[in-house]
Chain A
């Protein structure tokens, strides 16, 4: 559910088996002593940069929405968020 991925029953079984084997292989990591070791973020020391909060040219809405499977004007069309019916 977390992955929001529909799996057929045989697919789910196969994945369970494969992932189990992969995760077993990764158990070795637990034996590595990482006490006090900071997690790595970037190869070169740097802080994430923020851009100035200035308006600039951007993609027109019509362009940006062109790839949507279903839309109406500047809006995406989605099925009902709650319940089972469709909104449109």
Chain B
């Protein structure tokens, strides 16, 4: 029996649609691999084997009856645990939501199901998506499949690890400051953060509402395009959702970058980036030039302000969004509260972990009466400056190329202070602050065998150019058939 766990989404759809494979077999193979491998890896919080098999049987029945099975028919997908799923526990990696069973599906989950995808289960993440290593999950440690002494990145670390280790065909994550692209880079997979408003956040556990986006983590660029085609588009239930047509993103994969103008912002190369990361990006640049692309030196002068601006905006919005976890309407309530305020204080004090508390306190401070102008408003103005930097750059270039992260995956426990951890995100934050789309594509391995990611940033709603460029990078300097050796 040949393995099916390493097939791409595109291959799985094709094989199930033609009857070469049954959806049940595809699902069973993943379930078996999860049983064998995930005890060591720790990507999944919950595996929904019963429902996954039932849905696979439905797909096979439809195909036998010559009914359409959908553009993702029979494709098993793992969801980051901030996407709510009807009847399936959703924790956002937090104890405060332990045992909560949502009564509805997130918009993206509805769309995946309608397209014939099969939900395999929920994967680990930093608590409320606040973190860069998945070490902040209240539940378990997820390891990097390339080297199990290292983190998978975060906050969508369960997603990146599961995709890289062949424990699902693809995954959906969320990206508020790099939480799709950074773990994708650390685990050697493709991660795409769409333009703000491109994908509905209805049913996504909110972190920072002016930054959050949902996007795919996949083993190939084509797979990311296929998933984006399904999840993108207007949703009246999300007031920030854009009423813009959804292109056929897979059509952007032409293999042609002749004449493409690629911006290289010097601010991203002056920082303390690792030599091997620098070398891999140089190789990526060369590969693009060899195929006819034109490199253009550009400047994004406000890049250095992105980190402080982000760590004001995101915690401020989080402190407001997380006010809903009060121990009354859902989630866990503390026992023995004396009065209502006591119930709030104790439920939240016991339910939230240290990083979430830190961000709530930071956000509440920044929004305090008299401080709004100095912090939140200032940060929002700096976002305008960062956005203008990109607007200017995109008058001269079609896409911007940077490293996704300053280093490859780091070891567990190696970021001593919160600020050290925050600095792991310096290359991914601007994209969210400006609301533009960004993608990480694998572009090589370090001598120790750790993946390196190239980040592509594009004009608003121009995911197609990221996909076009990313596919060329993937073919030229991607990981090919190399698979993680850290797990069996």
Contact = CB atoms under 8 A, between A and B. Distances in A.
A22 B311 contact: yes
A71 to B, nearest CB: 9
A65 B345 CA distance: 22
A40 B378 CA distance: 10
Residue in A29, A40, A66, A70 whose Cβ sees the most chain B Cβ within 10 Å: A40
Contacts of B417: 18, 21
Interface in B346-386: 346, 348-350, 352, 354, 357-358, 360-362, 364-365, 368, 374-375, 377-385
Contact of A3 (B239, B360, B379, B436): B360
A83 B339 contact: yes
B141 to A, nearest CB: 22
A65 B349 CA distance: 23
Interface residues of B, number: 77
A7 B382 contact: no
A83 to B, nearest CB: 7
A30 B305 CA distance: 10
Contacts, number: 172
A29 B384 CA distance: 14
A15 B363 CA distance: 13
A29 B339 contact: no
A16 B430 CA distance: 28
Contacts of A2: 364, 368
A79 to B, nearest CB: 5
A81 B447 CA distance: 62
Given A37-B385, A78-B343, A4 B348 contact: yes
Contact of A39 (B240, B346, B384): B384
Given A30-B374, A40-B384, A43-B195, A48 B361 contact: no
A18 B400 CA distance: 35
Contacts of B348: 3-6
Nearest to B432: A43
Residue in A4, A85, A86 whose Cβ sees the most chain B Cβ within 10 Å: A4
A63 B417 CA distance: 42
B139 to A, nearest CB: 18
Residue in A7, A8, A48 whose Cβ sees the most chain B Cβ within 10 Å: A7
A79 B308 contact: no
A18 to B, nearest CB: 6
A64 B102 CA distance: 9
A29 B379 contact: yes
A63 B87 CA distance: 11
B251 interface: no
Interface in A24-72: 25-26, 28-30, 32, 34, 37-44, 46, 48-51, 59, 63-64, 66-70
Contacts of B385: 32, 34, 37
A84 interface: yes
Contacts of A69: 327-328, 330-333
Interface of B: 100-104, 195-197, 210, 236, 239-240, 242-244, 302, 304-305, 308-309, 311-312, 319, 323, 326-333, 337-346, 348-350, 352, 354, 357-358, 360-362, 364-365, 368, 374-375, 377-385, 387, 417-419, 422, 433-436, 460-461
